[in-house]
Structure 1
Amino acid sequence: MTFDQAEFKIRCEWGEQGLRQLAPISQAVVIVDVLSFSTCVEIATSRGAKVFPYRWKDESALKYAQSIQAELASFERRTDSPSLAPSSLLNLSPQSRLVLPSPNGASLSLLTGKTVTIAGCLRNCRAVAGWLRSYETVAVIPAGERWSDNSLRPALEDWVGAGAILSYLQGSLSPEAEAAVASFQHYQGSGHRLHQCSSGKELIARGFAQDVELAAELNVSDCVPVLTNAAYYIKNKVH
């Protein structure tokens, strides 16, 4: 199809519709939601936790968490208990089981079917690319945000995060993937740009500057969270 970028090995497209185009023809998918789902997953799994993505922030999330004997992250961003604030997960106990609802990164994670799925962000971009070297076809999906009418809002931090991962991948890149790489290269070394983009400014205004700081850190982690049996966790690669 015209929009599946099938003539290229390394692909990139936005959000749910992009995922639906690319996942079925790719051997692996990377979900990039820098502020903040993917960053939360990296921080939590690097501490030995399992993270169960969940789409809805409603009563069904609590029932799901209870059914799998997991803790439900707070629906509201906060720092004193697990939530979509990366800073709230810094002291997460090893072996924790956390259900993390998110309308963007978590929702996309649940739509990849049987395709190998990884959570990628700026913190682990080089590690993720290294993990993917044996996969011939890869789709990198910047999640984006939502406007009030529920339409996709392309988010700069996700575009740059996708480009960071793509910049380390080998193979023929689609024009969309090349554009993401160019965006990353333009902003590389300018972590303060995350503080100035719309998503970053919103979080800082709400008192979550530390979350933006954590999300802006580049290549500080070797953690590669792989979605396996409905949960992200660190998994040894076996072929």
Structure 2
Amino acid sequence: MSSAYDQSRYQVRFEWGAAGLARLAPAEVVVVVDVLLGTTTAVDAGAAGDEVPLASLDPALAEVVAAAGDAVVLLASLRNASAVAREVLAEQERRAARTSIAVIAVGDGPRFAVEDQFGAGAVIDALTALGIDHTSPEAAGAGEAFHGLRRAMRHLLTASASGQELLDGGRRDEVLAAAEVDAVDVVPARRGDVFACA
């Protein structure tokens, strides 16, 4: 039974965390976005063929992955947003049918994490550029937030609450690296109990 919050009328949907994913209509592809915690580590784990165990993921990230059920699950950040969008398009071509996509920003527990909104928006913006543009208003808003502020990502990430916390912990290089849009082409995809980097 559909609800006002499930975004089922749209191909590309956007929500926050495991609870948000549960509100959405089931999707065939779930893109999990975490910009400053576990995804960046997974994305930078190595070249194609490398594996990242599910058990090594940040707990909030792992919770969203577990909630995705049997969907194709891809990990995204700012660093691989366009590569993830290309992989979603390839998955749709393999299915030879319009494919539903849920883009889920992990967030920071109960706190809104602006960097994850930008990461999700980067994926949505890249999907739109590839012609996958039937987006919910929620997804369109995230995409436009990234699109309009793309050139300010470095500043926005270092100035964000999460970025400031990492800077205070001596992790400035991690934050600056996380702000690099499309720096890598690696796309971690769930394969059993690991993410295989393609």
In 1, distance between residues paired with 2:116 and 2:47?
A: 21
Aligned residues: 184
Instruction: Kindly report the root-mean-square deviation, in angstroms, between the aligned alpha carbons of the 2 structures.
Output: 1.4
Kindly indicate which of the two structures has a greater share of residues assigned to helix: 2
Alignment of 1:152-163 (within 5 A): 152-163=110-121
Q: Aligned partners of 2:47, 2:20: CA distance in 1, in Å?
A: 28
The amino acid across from 1:158 in the alignment is: D
The one-letter amino acid paired with 1:196 is A
Task: String of CA shifts for 1:175-198, please: whole Å, max 9, x gaps.
Answer: 000110121022201122100000
Say which of 109, 122, 126 aligns to 1:168: 126
Matches within 5 A, 1:1-239: 1-22=3-24, 25-46=26-47, 48-54=49-55, 100-133=56-89, 134-135=91-92, 136-146=99-109, 152-169=110-127, 170-190=132-152, 191-235=154-198
| Larger radius of gyration between Structure 1 and Structure 2 | 1
> What corresponds to 1:78 in structure 2?
none
1:6-39 deviations in Å (ceiling 9; x for gaps): 00000000111111133x6211001001111111
What letter matches 2:115 in structure 1?
E
Aligned with 2:122: secondary structure? helix
1:160-184 CA-partner distances (Å, limit 9, x unpaired): 0000000011131000001101210
SS at match of 1:4: coil
Unaligned runs of 5+ in 2: 93-98
What SS class does the counterpart of residue 151 from structure 2 fall into? coil
Note if contact 1:33-1:104 (Cα within 8 Å) is conserved in structure 2. Answer: no
